[in-house]
Homo-oligomer: A and B are copies of this chain.
Amino acid sequence: MKLDPVTTNPESYKVVFENDRVRVLEYKDKPGHLTTPHEHPNSVMYTLTTFSRRLHANGTTRDVEIVAGTTSWLPAQMHAGENIGQTDTHVIFVELKDDSEPTGSIGPQI
């Protein structure tokens, strides 16, 4: 993974657990925050807050609104994320160490 979000956006992404099978990231931002492009492997997302987000990838965008307590699947992908709402974003990502290839997906499967 060339654009590891922990490296590209250390202000928002923190490693909270890692072993040989998974790495778990905690993500936090404030309204108006925009990440730089970064990559995610296949991951489970669990949202701790309700937030609105614009995902930028493949020359297009996708807006999502996700409520607190949602579990979803984030297929391997590269994107940038923008907090376009009025609430903080707080998400746990459980990354699978499965050498997944990036997909053309934008955002979680919700």
Binding site for B on A (CB under 8 A): 16-17, 19, 21-22, 24, 26, 42, 44, 46, 71-73, 92, 94, 96, 98
Contact = CB atoms under 8 A, between A and B. Distances in A.
Contacts of A22: 44, 73, 94, 96
B46 A96 contact: no
Copies in the complex: 2
Contacts of A72: 17
A96 B20 CA distance: 13
The 9 closest A-B pairs by CB, nearest first: A17-B71, A16-B71, A94-B94, A24-B71, A44-B94, A46-B92, A22-B44, A19-B73, A24-B44
23 contacts: A16-B71, A17-B44, A17-B71, A17-B72, A17-B73, A19-B73, A21-B42, A21-B96, A21-B98, A22-B44, A22-B73, A22-B94, A22-B96, A24-B44, A24-B46, A24-B71, A26-B71, A44-B94, A46-B46, A46-B92, A71-B92, A94-B94, A96-B96
Nearest to A22: B44
